[in-house]
Structure 1
Amino acid sequence: MVLLKQLLQGRRPRLPLHLPAHGRGRALAPALAQLLRQIPGSWDLPELPEIGGPLESEGAVAESQAAIAQLLGAQRCWYGVNGASGLLQAGLLALAQPGERVLLPRNLHRSLLHGCLLGQLEPVLFDLPFDPVSGLWLPPSPEHLDAVLRAALAQAPLAAVVLVSPSYQGCVGDLVALVALAQRQGVPVLLDEAHGAHLGLDPRLPPSGLSTGADLVVQSLQKAAGGLAQSAVLLQGSGSGVDPARIERALLWLQTSSPSALLLASAEASLQHLHSAKGRRQLARALTCGERLRQRLVACGFQLLETQDPLRLSWICAADGINGLEADAWLMERGVIAELPEPGCLTFCLGLRPPRRLLRLLPAVLEQLRQELGGAGARSFSRPPLPLVASPELPLGEAWRAKSEAVPLDQAAGRLAAEPLCPYPPGIPLLISGERIDGPRAAWLQEQRRLWPQQIADTVKVVIA
């Protein structure tokens, strides 16, 4: 029983700065923590008549979803128990019919590609602004999205557009303008707000996706709301004209018929607490801690990514000549666990109740890391040569199922990618299945292989013609 042993006797790190946002239980919603103190397993119940489920019209779950919709200002609300991933897929399939085109950003979550495959949809991927200092994609400006929409609609109609906000690192675009741009073109918006359940609840934070007019909004409740992993919520905007029956049909396809009562309770408890006066005070304290930590690190000379969420702190380690993946390994040996390592950046999630020793320990540990691993000179990143908008030449489903072979990078130009190609974390696809590996992208990959030999394979899978 290796897994049970690990969970029962696992190490307790000095600074756990990773998800879930409840910080190993410190910031669990109080009602959820109380439930977990009951007789073990007493809450593991089926869809009894008095409980019901997310798609039932009667029972406690239906009443809870209606109450949460009213609390958040949504038209409808559905809980999910297989994470934001399953709800993103359901939202996509509710908006688009087989054969239709959906506009997706290159920083999409891979579940959306899987949703396109399941729904027989044509993905149209659009490029994003790029930061050469950190090596990260940034939110699109309204001007950028306007150009994207014009280019995509010039080819054929779109059934939906997906926006990601906040990003993993806490970057938020001008959602009011972005959503309005899409909707003026008659294109409904599915917002991946997995990392933003707390937005709009404090003056220091950007507005929530619901308040910007998005048609469908998906939130992961373990990432910013003090819920358990896999608990999530799909919200329909108050002005959305999407037929709820289409949403529920997609949920029926993609959600389990035996949802965990514990995870459903997690969705309710975490949202109610986050939006309560006590929850807002807890959030305010965490935000203040994040702002103080940022000020302290900047005073020490650390270059940080400009974000709109103080609970996400991204150190641009490339500015100190440090590989983020090597820095992550160094930190883990010392009991400091970051959420997301990348070649040029290391992201820490402070959670809703940051560790007590955070302000004292993290600056000191990062300074020691910089002294030991730094000194190689600042690194910069070259922009991937991506078209503004692009669709796979071979339908996604055909490419996914086609016979494939691995070929050396220097022989890949001109071939069709057999699987998504994500050069290094966090998995932004340079190519998706069915896309042509053009000369510039093949050359860029070879150069990245030279720079990051441990992160980029020397072969790529291509479709056998």
Structure 2
Amino acid sequence: MGKNIDKDRQNKTVLFDALKNHLSNRVVRFDVPGHKGGRGNKEFRDFIGLDAMQMDVNSMKPLDNLCHPTSVIKEAQDIAAEAFGAKEAYFMVSGTTGAVQAMIMATCKAGDKIIIPRNVHRSAINAMVICGAIPVYINPGLNKKLGISLGMSINDVKKAIHENPDAKAILVNNPTYYGICSDLKSIVKLAHENNMLVLVDEAHGAHFSFDDNLPISGMAAGADMAAISMHKTGGSLTQSSILLSGERINADYVRQIINLTQTTSSSYLLMTSLDVARKNLAINGKELFEKTVKFAEYARNEINKLGGYYAYGKELIDGDSVYDFDTTKLSVYTKDIGLAGIEVYDILRDDYEIQIEFGDLGNILAIISAGDRGLEIERLISSLAEIKRLYSKDSTGMFDHEYINPDVVLPPQKAFYSEKEMVPIKESAGKISGEFVMAYPPGIPILAPGERITEEIINYIEYAKEKGCLLTGTEDMHVEKINVVLE
């Protein structure tokens, strides 16, 4: 948590309180939204509740305005900045996608280079499509057995800085979807010595600021900006996130950048959920995440006793591309029982009514939090045991890796907006992709605009489709064809 925390201040929920006060005044509604506190949409009101519908209000003087906050939203953001150890905090109602895009667009203009790991979320490459920044990709390490990409090696970062001294920023995933963390403090030191900013995609690390036994947070490591998915592990509503910035960043310029793409009709349900979730983390976070780690460690140990599965943890740490590991993550390798992660994901949902976060070609990820119950953890473990008993088979011939080094030919913006033609994916080898192909979740592109399509990539896409992965990104909704750059 941020230094010099004022617990009395962190107990406040100024935005939430202002909204409750506004509702208690029973103000007559002649503004939007048109459902008028739920009276105009009774079926939905009866389903989600009257309180939720009445909280769905528009910006007004007593409730401030997210586009230009000067009162209760400003104070709520300032309290959040203190909780996370940042100079500034910005409430985001466009998710961490919007926060990642704002980081890149606030630090890079058209033609500027940004050093970036290739296993980024699509939002980072989308930002480059929009603003025209040029990616300098660092290929992450690969754990060949698990088929997962790792963090950024310090030597690779040094090499990228040496070869691109004009780069404006370095973006780091902290942690990856699977819980892998890079040596963030060393990356920050290197970047700042070379007049570069550090941007942290901390979508899966909102909890890092509130328990010293977890990996270091972006702000604590000295990063310049960090995008935090409060809705993932912080307890707020889906689509609500926080963008943080430090001393080197012009906060008012960042707000201008956010306002280029974020809605002017910001949801008070989302914003007040951020306000209350921040209070809960600041006051109860250490206790909550200690409980989370206990659940995850118990599950990890029990799943490993089953045989066939491998729930991995801190033993992966090597001091470099796996500098640390987020022990709240329950990542499980499944291929040794002859099933792709996506197959286990489907069986858990369809046969056992258990919804986990995602499955890829070799792993599953279950998100654990203090909101879970012991009986549910046991149910997951016993279901995995039964799946192994009923469905396991010989793993020979299964796809043996997850990450493919890209051949980047054109900048993302140039490729995306170029003249293109649509061709069958099976016949696209050798051509330059004009769009994305990715499995969602996690939303890390298999192909991004500007990259050369290879037989290896085509085989990967076909195998992912065969196993039941949800592929997205192409204009063709069936993902049978792909737009390629006319050369």
1:347 aligns with 2:365: yes
> Which residue does 2:416 correspond to in 1?
399
Instruction: Note closer, same or farther for the CA distance 1:316–1:113 as it changes in structure 2 (3 Å cut).
Output: same
CA contact (8 A) 2:199 2:226 kept: yes
Flag the structure with more relative contact order, 1 or 2, with Cα contacts below 8 A and sequence separation at least 6: 1
1:61, distance to aligned residue in structure 2 (A): 0.5
- Which of the residues 263, 266, 285 maps onto 1:259? 266
1:358 pairs with one of 376, 383, 400: 376
User: Cα 1:71–1:382, aligned 2, differ >3 Å: closer, same or farther?
Assistant: closer
In structure 1, the partner of 2:149 is 137
Deviations 1:304-326 (A, max 9, x none): 23362232211100122211121
2:333 corresponds to: 316
**Cα separation, 1, equivalents of 2:429 and 2:193:** 39
1:381 maps to 2:400: yes
CA distance in 2, matches of 1:423, 1:432: 12
Q: 2:444 aligns with which of 428, 435, 450?
A: 428
Match of 1:53 in 2: 65
* Equivalent of 2:303 in 292, 297, 305: 297
Q: TM-score, normalising length from structure 1? A: 0.83
Say if 1:152 and 1:372 are closer, same or farther in 2 by CA, change over 3 A. farther
- Of 97, 100, 103 in structure 2, the residue corresponding to residue 88 of structure 1 is 100
Look up the SS of the partner of 2:151 in the other structure.
coil
Partner of 2:26: none
Could you tell me which runs of 5 or more consecutive residues in structure 2 were left unpaired when the two chains were aligned: 1-12, 21-47, 315-324, 472-478
2:356 corresponds to which residue? 338
**Aligned-pair distance for 1:42?**
2.3
Query: SS state of the match for residue 371, structure 2?
Result: coil
| Residue 244 of structure 1 pairs with residue 256 of structure 2 | no
Deviation of 1:159 after TM superposition, in Å, equals 1.7
Contact 2:129 2:416 in 1 (8 A): no
Once the two structures are TM-superposed, the CA of residue 55 in structure 1 deviates from its matched residue by 4.0
Deviation of the 1:196 alpha carbon? 0.7
> Which segment drifts farther, 182-191 or 427-436?
427-436
CA contact (8 A) 1:46 1:260 kept: yes
Q: Return the alpha-carbon distance in structure 2 between the equivalents of residues 66 and 248 of structure 1.
A: 14
CA displacement, residues 228-273 of structure 1 (integer Å, 9 cap, x when unaligned) = 0111111112xx3122222111011122112111211111111111
Measure how far apart 1:158 and its partner are: 1.1
CA deviation digits over 1:129-165, x for unaligned, max 9? 1112221111122223223333444xxx212221111
- Deviations 1:412-444 (Å, cap 9, x if unpaired)? 34321111233786343343212233xxxx132
CA distance in 2, matches of 1:121, 1:312: 32
- Secondary structure at the aligned position of 2:170 is classed as strand
Aligned in 2, Cα 1:78/1:408: closer, same or farther, shift over 3 Å?
A: closer
Letter in 1 for 2:262: Q
Identity %: 24
C-alpha distance 293-48 of structure 1, shift in aligned 2 (>3 A): same
Number of aligned pairs? 423
Cα offset, 1:43, TM superposition:
1.6
Q: Which residue of 1 aligns with 2:317?
A: none
Q: Secondary structure at the match of 1:257?
A: coil
Q: CA deviation at 1:205?
A: 0.8
Q: 1:341 deviation in Å?
A: 0.8
The residue type paired with residue 335 of structure 1 is E
1:51-450 maps to which residues of 2 (within 5 A)? 51-153=63-165, 157-237=166-246, 240-276=247-283, 278-301=284-307, 302-306=309-313, 308-333=325-350, 334-377=352-395, 379=398, 381-382=400-401, 384-386=403-405, 391-393=408-410, 396-409=413-426, 411-422=427-438, 426-437=442-453, 442-448=454-460
Distance 2:195 2:379 in 1: 51
Question: Does structure 2 retain, via aligned residues, the 8 Å contact 1:298–1:304?
Answer: yes
What per-residue deviation string (whole Å, max 9, x for no partner) do you get for residues 48-79 of structure 1?
A: 11221234342211111112212322111110
**Could you list the per-position Cα deviations for residues 185-239 of structure 1 after superposition, in whole angstroms to 9, with x for gaps in the alignment?**
21101110011111142243112111000000110111110100111111112xx
Q: Deviations over 1:363-414 (max 9, x none)?
A: 2110111122213136562475526xx65426624534522221453x4343
Q: Please identify, of 205-214 and 350-359, the stretch whose mean Cα deviation from structure 2 is larger.
A: 350-359
Asked if structure 1 preserves the Cα contact closer than 8 Å seen for 2:208 and 2:217, the reply is yes
- The amino acid of 1:303's aligned partner reads Y
The answer to whether the 8 A contact 1:342-1:424 is kept is no
**Alignment partner, residue 41 of structure 2:** none
Tell me the distance in 2 between the aligned counterparts of 1:56 and 1:112. 25
Change (3 A) 1:352 1:149: farther
Q: Structure 1: state its 5+ residue gaps.
A: 1-28
What's the TM-score once normalised by structure 2's chain length?
A: 0.80
Aligned to 2:91, the other structure's residue is in SS state strand
Q: Does 1:43 align with 2:58?
A: no
| C-alpha separation in 1, matches of 2:252 and 2:288 | 37
1:57 to 1:380, Cα distance in 2 relative to 1, 3 A: closer
Q: CA deviation at 1:38?
A: 6.8
Shift of 1:103: 2.1
Q: Equivalents in 2 of 1:400, 1:271: separation in Å? A: 40
* Cα separation, partners in 2 of 1:116 and 1:135, compared to 1, 3 Å: same
Equivalent residue of 1:375, what SS? Answer: coil
Letter in 1 for 2:344: A
Looking at structure 1, the residues matched to 193 and 337 of structure 2 have their Cα atoms a distance apart, in angstroms, of: 44
Give, in whole Å, the separation in 1 of the partners of 2:436 and 2:333: 26
Within 2, Cα distance between the matches of 1:451 and 1:234? 37
The worse-fitting range, judged by mean Cα deviation, of 71-80 and 279-288 is: 279-288
The residue that corresponds to 1:19 in the other structure is: none
Distance 1:58-1:38 versus aligned 2 partners, 3 A rule = farther
Over 3 Å counting, the alpha-carbon distance change for 1:37 and 1:269 in structure 2 is farther
